[in-house]
Amino acid sequence: MKAFVHEGEKLLIKDVAEPDVKDDEVKISIKVAGLNHRDLHIPKRRGNVADPLVLGSDGAGVVEMTGKNVTNVSVGDEVIINPGIGWLHQSDAPPESFEIVGMPDDGTFAEKYVVDQKYVEKKPSYLSWEEAGVLALAALTGYRALFTKGKVSPDSTVFLPGAGSGVVTYMIQFAKAIGARVIVTSRSAEKKAYARSIGADLVIDTEADWDVELQDETIDLVIESIGKATFNRSLSVLRKGGRMVTFGATTEDQVTIDIRQFFYGQYQLFGSTMGSREELRTALKFMEKHQIYPVVDKVLAFDEMENAFKYLDEAKQFGKIAVQISKDD
Ligand SMILES: NC(=O)c1ccc[n+]([C@@H]2O[C@H](COP(=O)([O-])OP(=O)(O)OC[C@H]3O[C@@H](n4cnc5c(N)ncnc54)[C@H](OP(=O)(O)O)[C@@H]3O)[C@@H](O)[C@H]2O)c1
């Protein structure tokens, strides 16, 4: 089968062996896979490794084969993959065994993907293949950050730096669906307009002086994923006693904070990472109830995968990038 792999220091499409199906497993013929920022980090983290790794955490497709113990899906079912392996029930943090699809084990940027039946969910019928293929990882991350950790409420004001981020495009829509006030930032005029079109109440420039721009706002919750470039500025606009959730560090991990300011302000800081299967199922029901659609910026062909990586690396996208692995019959 054709797969997009990291091998040596290269990213390339190559023929690899099709994975076998064990008794509890499901083989999925992937129609659409979705990119995440994580796909950019993995080759950097792996460095020069001879063993090819199939990248990719998100995907949607059709069940092609099932092991003899599989009971939850049948051949021909349309499904999405839950990329959070080993985390079934809601808990404060993932179990030690938690892994994300696409490293260390092979991922979804391949014609076929095999996974335990526990990590296969029915494709939401109101979504297209492209929308379903970019859904799980970012929607789940946004759902846990906003609801489980952030405890967003309809009367709260939420601040989300980096509107172009796939995860942020879900959070804008989730927070609006319950009636919260949503403020976002972006470095791009075009993305600012998109953010307004999906519900953001106030959109400011990432490079502006936030203390000035937001002086009349009371921000109850900040969800921060940019990291070093914005972390302290995000904290400075949070109301005293407010919550900050961090789940990403697009621009660098190491941040210095003034702890005196922090404890005088009685701020609350929470880390978050993806979410459990229970939260994914709740997020999918929430999206269907509120008819929330993933924002798909671009759909590219499988052999354009390198261009898809470049587009994401240059942060040109607003929302998600989908890659068509196989076309409709
Ligand atoms: N812990 C987890 O489970 C988890 C899950 C998903 C994602 N993440 C992490 O969360 C982050 C967001 O993920 P994603 O997939 O949504 O990312 P993404 O689609 O690549 O978006 C990143 C966004 O960050 C903003 N940005 C990038 N560089 C910036 C800079 N120098 N200054 C200011 N803003 C900048 C940009 O927003 P504008 O273009 O609008 O300015 C960009 O669109 C990534 O770091 C990712 O690794 C973590």
pLDDT at 177: 98
User: Which of 141, 223, 225 to mutate to test ligand 1, by most ligand atoms within 8 A of the CB atom?
Assistant: 225
DSSP letter, residue 81:
E
**Is any ligand 1 atom within 6 A of the Cβ of residue 223?**
no
Q: Is the pLDDT of residue 71 over 70?
A: yes
- pLDDT (0 to 100) of residue 328: 65
Is residue 141 in contact with ligand 1, taking CB distance under 6 Å? yes
Amino acid at 245: V
Distance 289 CA to ligand 1 centre (A): 27
At 228 the pLDDT is 97
Q: For the chain, give the percent of residues with pLDDT over 70.
A: 99
Give the number of other Cβ atoms within 10 Å of residue 282's Cβ: 18
Q: Give yes or no for residue 226 CB within 6 A of ligand 1.
A: yes
Give residue 43's pLDDT band: very low, low, confident or very high (50, 70, 90): very high
Tell me the pLDDT tens digit for each residue of 97-143: 999 999 999 999 999 999 999 999 999 999 999 999 999 999 999 99
Q: What is the pLDDT of residue 327?
A: 78
Tell whether ligand 1 has an atom less than 6 A from the beta carbon of residue 136. no
Q: Report the Cα 306 to chain-centroid distance in Å.
A: 20
How far is ligand 1, taken at its centre, from the CA of residue 230, in Å? 11
Task: Indicate which residue's Cα is closest to atom 8 of ligand 1.
Answer: 248
Please give the average per-residue pLDDT across 70-96, as a whole number: 98
Res 58: pLDDT: 98
What are the angstrom distances between the C-alpha of 72 and each of 63, 119, 121? 11, 10, 9
Ligand 1 atom 18, closest CA = 165
Indicate whether 150 pLDDT > 80.
Answer: yes
Mutate which of 141, 190, 226, 246 for ligand 1? The one with the most ligand atoms within 8 Å of its CB, which is 226
CA distances (Å), 194 to each of 124, 163, 172, 185, in order? 24, 9, 11, 12
Residue 32 C-alpha to ligand 1 middle, in angstroms? 22
In this prediction, residues 256-285 reach a mean pLDDT of 98
Report the C-alpha gap between 235 and 221 in whole angstroms: 10
Q: Is the beta carbon of 139 within 6 A of some atom in ligand 1?
A: no
Determine the distance separating the centroid of ligand 1 and the alpha carbon of 315, expressed in angstroms. 8
In the prediction, which pLDDT does 114 show? 98
User: What are the tens digits of pLDDT across the range 151-185?
Assistant: 999 999 999 999 999 999 999 999 999 999 999 99
For ligand 1, what atom is nearest to the CA of residue 35?
15
> Percentage of the chain surpassing pLDDT 90?
99
* Cα distance from N-terminal residue to C-terminal residue, the chain: 17
Asked whether residue 329 carries a pLDDT value surpassing 60, the answer given is: no
